Amino acid sequence: MNKLRLFKRLGIGVVLFLLLCVALLLLSRSRDFQLFGKLVSHIDTAVHVVALTFDDGPSAQYTPDVLATLARYQVKATFFVTGREASQHSAMTKAIVAAGHQLGNHSWSHPRLVFRSYAVIANEIEQTDAVIREAGYLGPIYFRPPYGKKLLLLPWYLKQHQRVTVTWNVEADSDLGADADTIAQRVISEVKPGSIVLLHVMYASREASRAALPSIIEGLRAKGYRLVTMAELLQDSQP
């Protein structure tokens, strides 16, 4: 009888542990919620504004083309750069700033910052902040977690330093097999007033996303959207 009770307790313990693991996994992946601090995945507005954001890089090979496209359409965007790449390609980082775009922090080396120590998290963020400031960027530096993953210590650090976490509610190029037309149509169809669009355009494997950029801009403008930086989007959300 005692063994039966023991097995029941063990079974309950295992179930509770698995439920906890699932809950933590869902929490770490949530685009709309974190335990501490401010998180923004979009803003609630009736105004047709949308923030175009790019992750990773900059890249000596691909950033100039992206900047040229944005300049041609007179669009300002937000680049969530990694500190290591921003340091390696400092001329490109400065070019982003000189063109009037916003820089965001996407960590130094793009690790999953879920089960990392407070010291590691601080180092990943602060090193990247320093590179962003060295590039001449003076505006607010928002943070985007690598892979969108966060749990306890990362949100706590960001709250302690009064930093805004930025995720997204439109991601059209997560499928590397998608072509440019598919990516563009996904963005155009999924965007709503106040959306934050995530695109990856900095690597050779992201040719389709770069090729989709003109169609995305033209399609959103045809629907009456104004493309803004994250700072402008958050300003629009203020009363």
Residue range 126-154, pLDDT digits in tens = 999 999 999 999 999 999 999 999 989 99
**Chain-wide mean pLDDT for the chain?**
91
Tokens at residue 150, please? 């966060």
Q: Based on the residue annotation, tell me whether 65 is a catalytic residue of this protein.
A: no
What is the model's pLDDT at position 205?
96
What CATH number does domain 33-236 carry, 3.40.640.10, 3.20.20.370, 3.30.830.10, 1.10.1060.10? 3.20.20.370
pLDDT above 70 as % of the chain: 86
Reported as a single tens digit per residue, the pLDDT across 66-88 is 999 999 999 999 999 999 999 99
What is the model's pLDDT at position 175?
87
Residues near 145 by beta carbon (within 8 Å), at least 6 away in sequence: 107, 113, 154, 165, 167
What 204-208 contacts at long range (C-beta under 8 Å, 24+ apart), as own/partner pairs, is 204/61, 204/62, 205/176, 206/62, 206/173, 208/173, 208/178, 208/179, 208/180, 208/182, 208/183
Which one of the listed residues 42, 101, 106, 200 is annotated catalytic? 200
What is the model's pLDDT at position 11?
63
How many distinct helices (H) and strands (E) make up the chain? Answer: 9, 8
Helices (H), 161-206: 180-190
- Give the residue from 53, 47, 57 showing the smallest Cα distance to 93: 57
| All structural domains of the chain with their residue ranges | 1-30, 33-236
Which one of the listed residues 55, 56, 129, 173 is annotated catalytic? 55
Reported as a single tens digit per residue, the pLDDT across 82-121 is 999 999 999 999 999 999 999 999 999 999 999 899 999 9
What is the model's pLDDT at position 239?
45
Higher pLDDT, 11 or 90: 90
Q: Based on the residue annotation, tell me whether 42 is a catalytic residue of this protein.
A: no
| Single pTM value for the model | 0.90
Tokens at residue 226, please? 């104004």
What is the model's pLDDT at position 125?
98
DSSP letter at 166 equals: E
* 58 upstream amide cis, omega within 30 of 0: yes
CA 135 to chain CA centroid, nearest Å:
20
Average pLDDT over residues 205-222: 98
